[in-house]
């Protein structure tokens, strides 16, 4: 007889603007932890005491699954693995979590060059790089023991399978129970904020950066084909109106793209100039997020041949190609 799995959300504090993160304790035939919070003393204490309240110690965990490499989700992975727990992530996560110095350097030179081509002043670009380095310190490098394939069953939890849900992060996975209509979704869909499709370096020595917003929109279209009755998100409360929310997110992308198209009416602009016009209050403080947002929507417009760009002194200038629809 298999036991149906009980889903127990565990909320942990993070040092990040996004606020607390939700991990999940899944108790069925196996005991599984999904995500682990940032690598801080406070987060570790709350995680261990929450597990204890549910009658579980790290030694009782049969497996640990991490939805994506971002430190607010993956930060304590290494400690959990060192406690002897089998650690699972998609294969795509390996370069991001393994602390490979070649990949880290490649990523840093990618961002430096990309920001320059977006017209970001060098001082601000350097500041972003320092923030990225600081951000990485909230996670310790590790290599997952198992890299499941999308569609594989989650051991010990009947009905649950792994979904590949990239866009917010290239290695993003979710757990899905088709019969029950349940998704444990990490950051693929959040109830109160839109998930940013963050810019990512391409795989080592690949020339093309991934078009992350387009990837994310493909993921959202895919999720619309699934039975989603209840979603447990990485931030915020569980919610049931997933399909409505997905349609809203998709529509919001189109509207933001249109707003950018409007700004390009008069003159060609750089990504940085667009950031300053679209997000005048936050573009300097949250440059990384804002650049991802603008570049992603330019990719969307580009995919529909609605913008083109010229390169002048290593900087891209975007222009509108046609009449505004």
Residue located via tokens 């760009």: 309
Judged by CB, which is closer to Zn ion: 195, or 270? 195
Q: CB–CB of 162/173 below 8 Å?
A: yes
- Say how far apart CA 72 and CA 12 lie, in whole Å: 9
Residues 109 and 9: their CA atoms lie apart, in Å, by 38
Phi, psi of 197 (to 5 degrees): -85, 85
Q: Minimal distance in Å, beta carbon 216 to Zn ion? A: 12
Q: Which is nearer to Zn ion, 74 or 301 (CB)?
A: 74
| CA pair distance 91, 18, nearest whole angstrom | 26
70 or 157: CB nearest Zn ion: 70
Min dist CB 75 to Zn ion, Å, is 11
Between 120 and 173, name the residue whose CB sits nearer to Zn ion.
173
DSSP H or E segment with residue 276: helix 271-278
Q: What's the DSSP call for residue 84? A: T
Question: Smallest distance from the beta carbon of 298 to Zn ion, in angstroms?
Answer: 22
Q: Which residues of 284-317 are buried (b: 16+ CB within 10 A; e: fewer)?
A: eebbbbbbbbbbbbbbbbbeeebbebeeeeebbb
264, two tokens: 């390009």
Residue 220: strand pairing partners: none
Residue pair 185/173 in contact (Cβ under 8 Å)? The answer is no
Task: Output 5 or 43, the one with its CB closest to Zn ion.
Answer: 43
Nearest distance, CB of residue 195 and Zn ion, angstroms = 7
* Shortest CB 7 distance to Zn ion, Å: 20
Give just the sign of the alpha carbon dihedral 275, 277, 283, 284. positive
- Smaller CB separation from Zn ion, 70 or 253: 70
* CB closer to Zn ion, 187 vs 261: 187
Cα–Cα nearest to 263, from 192, 200, 197, 324: 324
Residues in the chain: 325
Q: Which residue is nearest to Zn ion (CB)?
A: 70
Q: Which residues bind Zn ion (CB under 5 A)?
A: 70, 187
- Cβ proximity to Zn ion, 111 vs 316, nearer residue: 111
Using DSSP's 3-state secondary structure scheme, residue 7 falls into: strand
What is the number of alpha carbons within 13 Å of residue 106 lying toward its C-beta? 16
> Least distance (Å) from Zn ion to the CB of residue 67?
8
Min dist CB 84 to Zn ion, Å, is 27
Residue 117 near residue 317 (C-beta atoms within 8 A): no
**Is the Cβ of residue 140 or residue 301 nearer to Zn ion in the bound state?**
140
Other CB atoms within a 10 A radius of the CB of residue 231 amount to 25
CB of 167 to Zn ion, least distance (A): 11
Q: Give the shortest CB-129-to-Zn ion separation in angstroms.
A: 19
């Amino acid at each position: 007889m298999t036991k149906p799995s009980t889903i127990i959300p565990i909320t942990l504090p993070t040092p990040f603007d996004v606020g607390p993160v939700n991990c999940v304790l899944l108790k069925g035939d196996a005991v599984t932890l999904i995500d682990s919070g940032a690598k801080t003393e406070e987060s570790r204490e709350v995680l261990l005491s929450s597990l204890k309240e549910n009658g579980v110690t790290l030694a009782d965990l049969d497996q640990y699954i991490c939805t994506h490499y971002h430190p607010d989700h993956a930060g304590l992975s290494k400690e959990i693995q060192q406690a002897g727990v089998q650690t699972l992530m998609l294969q795509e996560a390996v370069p991001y979590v393994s602390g490979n110095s070649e990949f880290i350097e490649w990523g840093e030179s990618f961002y430096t060059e990309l920001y320059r081509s977006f017209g970001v002043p060098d001082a601000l670009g350097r500041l972003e790089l320092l923030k990225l380095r600081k951000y990485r310190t909230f996670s310790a490098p590790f290599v997952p023991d198992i890299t499941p394939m999308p569609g594989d069953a989650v051991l010990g939890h009947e009905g649950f399978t792994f979904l590949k849900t990239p866009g917010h992060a290239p290695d993003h996975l979710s757990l899905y129970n088709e019969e029950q209509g349940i998704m444990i979704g990490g950051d693929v869909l959040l109830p109160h904020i839109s998930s940013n499709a963050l810019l990512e370096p391409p795989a080592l020595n690949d020339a093309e950066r991934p078009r992350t917003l387009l990837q994310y929109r493909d993921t959202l279209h895919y999720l619309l084909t699934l039975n989603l009755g209840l979603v447990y998100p990485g931030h915020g409360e569980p919610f049931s109106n997933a399909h409505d929310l997905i349609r809203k997110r998709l529509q919001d992308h189109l509207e933001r793209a249109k707003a950018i198209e409007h700004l390009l009416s008069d003159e060609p602009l750089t990504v940085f100039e667009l950031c300053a016009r679209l997000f005048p209050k936050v573009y300097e403080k949250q440059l990384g997020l804002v650049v991802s947002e603008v570049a992603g929507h330019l990719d969307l417009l580009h995919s529909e041949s609605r913008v083109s760009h010229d390169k002048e002194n290593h900087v891209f200038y975007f222009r509108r190609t046609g009449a505004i629809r």
